Copies of this chain bind each other. A is one copy, B any other.
């Protein structure tokens, strides 16, 4: 067993997942929590850096990594590959770092099958009206486009009950405290504490 925990975090578009993850990463030391960086075969967009936003990889290299079982999960989207490197995650977990995977319910399913100890968190919006507000965005899109986003969000949300924890992102600070509480509580589980504080426990019981 490794000392860090692996977390899947999923949400429909508009639930505020990315803001929550960014706030969490900004608040906690890099030595305690990190966001997993995916491999992809798509080209970098302006401002995107290799090793920061993605590991940019050629089609051939990606397929080689697939054949070697390198990926915890991978998918092909619009002709490009996206994947999550298992060795990179394992290294962080062994160092005691909690690792977050920002992934949809389908990726979550793949990972749960391979790593049943993964913890999963689903973020829900506080109401349908608020979700719609957030999906309307700057009001430059047609009603049809917005309805399409809404349908996609409802379809994603219908899988909320496959997750271990559910956070309603009504008040941002409350949701952030809740997210942090999950990380803190999971670190207090007896099995992890027994390993982390082995010497101290031996002294107390000696």
Contact = CB atoms under 8 A, between A and B. Distances in A.
Interface in A163-199: 163-168, 177-178, 180-182, 184-186, 188-190, 193-194, 197
A167 B188 contact: yes
Max chain B Cβ within 10 angstroms of own Cβ: one of A131, A177, A185: A185
B127 A201 contact: no
Contact of A165 (B157, B181, B189): B189
Contacts of A201: 124, 160
A128 interface: yes
B190 A182 contact: no
Task: Decide if the interface of chain A is mainly helix, strand, loop or mixed.
Answer: helix
Nearest to A131: B204
B122 A203 contact: no
Given A124-B201, A125-B204, A166-B190, 12 more contacts: A127-B200, A157-B205, A161-B194, A164-B189, A164-B190, A165-B188, A165-B190, A168-B193, A178-B184, A178-B185, A181-B181, A182-B188
